[in-house]
Amino acid sequence: MSALYLVPTPIGNLGDITYRAVEILGKADLVLAEDTRKTGILLRHLNISKPVRSHHQFNEHRTLDGIIRELLAGTSIALVTDAGTPGISDPGFLLVRKCIEAGIEIETLPGPTAFIPALVNSGLPSDRFVFEGFLPHKKGRQKRLGELLREPRTMVFYESPFRLCKTLQQLLETLGAERKASVSRELTKVHEETIRGTLAELVAHFGENAPRGEIVIVVEGAGRQ
C-alpha cells in the first residue's frame, strides 16, 4: 500500500540516521527533498540509489496535487528536508494536511531535530517549554516579542547567525538583561558549542565573537528565576 513517510535526517553528524530511516529511504519509490544536492550526498553515503525530486517552500503549493495523485496511484514517497524532521520549520505541513484530506496513510519516523538537544543542554527547565521557531523578520516581530514577556515556559527559537546579535538584543530589551538563556550552534558537528549566561552576557559575547552555523536560542520563562 502506498504511503507518505516523513523521514528525519541528521542535523550534522551522519551517524545520527536511524536504521528505520535507512530502511524507508531504501524501499520508497520516490524521495522528495528540500535540496536534491544535499539529499543526494546523504543517499550516496547510505549507498541508496533512488529518484529524488525537489519539494520546498517555493514550489510546494503548485506540486501538491501532483504528489497526491502519485500517492493515490500507489507510489510510496519519503519526504526529507536538508536536516532534521520535516514539518519543523521546514516543508511538510501542507503535504501532510493534503494527505489527511485524501485519506492517504502517513508515517512519521522519530529522529533528529535541533531544538530538543539544545533545550536539554541549556540547563534551563525542560518540563514545560514552547517552541517558537523563527521569529517574524519584520511585520509582527515586536508584537510577538511583547506577547512572550510573561510566557512562563522555557522558550526555544531558531535563528540564523546573521540575525543572532539583533535577536539577542531585542530579547534583552523586551525580557530584561538578567533573563537566563543559552545559544547552541553547529549541533552534532565538529565545532558544536553552547554558550550559557544572561541575555546581557550573551549579547556581549556574540558582539565580540561572530557566530557561525545553525543557531538555537533557549530563553528562561518569566518567573522561573
CB distance 89 to 11 below 8 Å: no
**Beta-carbon-side half-sphere exposure of residue 97 (alpha carbons within 13 Å):** 8
Q: Which fold has domain 115-219?
A: 3.30.950
Q: What is the pLDDT of residue 1?
A: 54
Q: Which three cell numbers stand for residue 78?
A: 519519503
* Per-residue model confidence as pLDDT tens digits over 168-190: 999 999 999 999 999 999 999 99
137 — pLDDT class (breaks 50, 70, 90): confident
> What is the pLDDT, as a whole number, of residue 12?
92
**Residue 225, pLDDT score:** 58
pLDDT tens, residue by residue, 67-102? 999 999 999 999 999 999 999 989 999 999 999 999
CATH number assigned to the domain covering 4-108: 3.40.1010.10
- Spatial separation of the C-alpha atoms in residues 48 and 40, rounded to whole Å: 9
Instruction: Inform me whether the pLDDT recorded for 224 exceeds 70.
Output: no
Is pLDDT above 80 for 166? yes
Cα torsion 182, 174, 165, 187 to 10°: value is 30
For 206-216, what is each residue's pLDDT tens digit? 999 989 999 99
109 near 179, Cβ under 8 Å? no
pLDDT tens, position by position, 39-76 = 999 999 999 999 999 999 899 899 999 999 999 999 99
What's the grid cell of residue 148? 512572550
Backbone angles phi, psi at 153, to 5 degrees: -85, 155
Neighbours of 5 (CB within 10 A): 24
Kindly tell me if the per-residue pLDDT of 111 is higher than 60.
yes
Per-domain residue ranges of the chain: 4-108, 115-219
> DSSP secondary-structure letter at 46?
T
Residue environment code for 54-85, b if the CB has 16+ CB neighbours within 10 A, otherwise e: ebbeeebeebbeebbebbeeeebbbbbbbbbb
Phi and psi at 160, nearest 5°, equal: -90, 155
Quick count: other Cβ atoms within 10 Å of Cβ 182?
A: 20
Q: What is the pTM of this model?
A: 0.92
